[in-house]
Structure 1
Amino acid sequence: MENVSNVDKLESLKSFQSTISKSEKALATMTQKDANTTLISKRLKALYIGLVMLENVWNQRPHQYTQEDLAEARNVLISLFPSIENSYVKSKAGSPQRTLLERRIKSLELAVQAIDDLSVE
Structure 2
Amino acid sequence: MENVSNEVKLDSISAFQSTIRKSENALANMSLQGSNTTLLTKRLKALQIGLAMLETAWNQRPHSYTDEEIAEALTVMTGLFPSLQISFDKAKPGSPQRTLLKRRIRAIELAVEAMDQLDSR
| Structure 1 outlier segments of 4+, above 2 Å | none
- Partner amino acid, structure 1, of 2:67: Q
Normalization by structure 2: what TM-score?
A: 0.99
Q: Which residue of 2 aligns with 1:82?
A: 82
- Partner amino acid, structure 1, of 2:71: A
- Partner amino acid, structure 2, of 1:82: P
1:43-71 Cα offsets, whole Å, 9 max, x none, are: 00000000000000000000111111110
Normalization by structure 1: what TM-score?
A: 0.99
Q: Which residue of 1 aligns with 2:65?
A: 65
Identify unmatched segments of 5+ residues in structure 2.
none
Supply the distance in 2 between the matched residues of 1:29 and 1:46 (Cα, whole angstroms): 19
Residues 14-29 of structure 1 mapped to structure 2, 5 A cutoff: 14-29=14-29
1:79-120 Cα offsets, whole Å, 9 max, x none, are: 111111001001111111110000000000000000000111
Q: Which residue of 1 aligns with 2:13?
A: 13
- Partner amino acid, structure 2, of 1:65: Y
Supply the distance in 1 between the matched residues of 2:100 and 2:108 (Cα, whole angstroms): 12
Supply the distance in 2 between the matched residues of 1:2 and 1:42 (Cα, whole angstroms): 29
Supply the distance in 2 between the matched residues of 1:33 and 1:90 (Cα, whole angstroms): 29
Q: Which residue of 2 aligns with 1:103?
A: 103
Query: Which SS does the other structure have where 1:62 is aligned?
Result: coil
RMSD of equivalent CA atoms: 0.5
Aligned length: 121
Identity %: 62
Q: Which residue of 2 aligns with 1:93?
A: 93
1:5-59 Cα offsets, whole Å, 9 max, x none, are: 0000000000000000000000000000011110000000000000000000000
- Partner amino acid, structure 2, of 1:113: E
Query: Which SS does the other structure have where 2:25 is aligned?
Result: helix
